[in-house]
Each structure stands twice: as structure tokens, then as C-alpha cells.
């Protein structure tokens, strides 16, 4: 795929578009956010409906995908997405963040 307005005859002048990484170009971020959201959603179920093993697996997968120190940040963001009317500051404090940290 060539840059708009360029042809194969002029590759040195126009360059080449960089290929997307994965399907969306940000697959890792999408999966990380999905895992965090799934974990928060499962935590909202009645304890008898929760699958501890699945939640542990999701927690481990999320931890493996997160950059160091961002695990709780992903969870706080997911909770804010699932509960848009919740007090954001309270949610972030619940996950160990002070007002100025996020």
C-alpha cells in the first residue's frame, strides 16, 4: 500500500505506509481492556454465580498483559466504564490511587 498520491514508480520519494500490528493496530490494548472489564463484571455477580477459577485466570492474564504498575489502573478504568454514574474519585481511591495520581 502506497502513500496517497504516490505510485510504485516513485517509492523512494513517497515511502510506504507502515502495516498495522495485529487486526486493529492496537490489539494488545483492546484485549487488556476487555480482560479488566470482564473481571470487574464478574465481581459484580452474586458469589454463588462467580467462577473463582475463571476470575483467577483472567486476573493472571491481565497481569501478564499490563505494563508494570498499571494493573489497578486498568481495573479502576473498567469500573468507571461499567458504572459511569459512580463517583470517579471514589472508584480510583478504591484501587489505591489518590486524586493527583491519575
Q: Is the pLDDT of residue 35 over 90?
A: yes
- What's the rounded Cα separation, in Å, for the pair 33 and 75? 9
- What's the rounded Cα separation, in Å, for the pair 19 and 70? 28
pLDDT at residue 71, as a whole number: 96
Q: Is the pLDDT of residue 3 over 50?
A: no
Model pLDDT for residues 42-61, shown as the tens digit of each residue: 999 999 999 999 999 999 99
pLDDT at residue 77, as a whole number: 96
Model pLDDT for residues 57-92, shown as the tens digit of each residue: 999 999 999 999 999 999 999 999 999 999 999 999
DSSP code per residue over 26-78: -HHHHHHHHHHHHHHHHHTS-GGG--HHHHHHHHHHHHHHSPTT-HHHHHHHH
Amino acid at each position: 500500500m502506497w502513500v496517497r498520491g504516490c505510485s510504485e514508480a516513485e517509492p523512494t520519494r513517497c515511502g510506504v505506509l507502515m502495516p498495522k500490528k495485529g487486526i486493529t493496530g492496537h490489539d494488545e490494548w483492546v484485549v487488556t481492556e476487555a480482560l479488566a472489564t470482564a473481571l470487574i463484571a464478574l465481581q459484580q455477580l452474586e458469589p454463588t454465580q462467580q467462577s473463582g477459577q475463571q476470575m483467577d485466570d483472567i486476573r493472571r492474564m491481565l497481569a501478564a498483559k499490563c505494563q508494570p504498575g498499571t494493573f489497578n489502573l486498568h481495573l479502576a478504568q473498567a469500573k468507571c466504564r461499567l458504572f459511569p454514574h459512580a463517583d470517579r474519585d471514589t472508584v480510583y481511591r478504591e484501587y489505591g490511587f489518590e486524586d493527583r495520581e491519575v
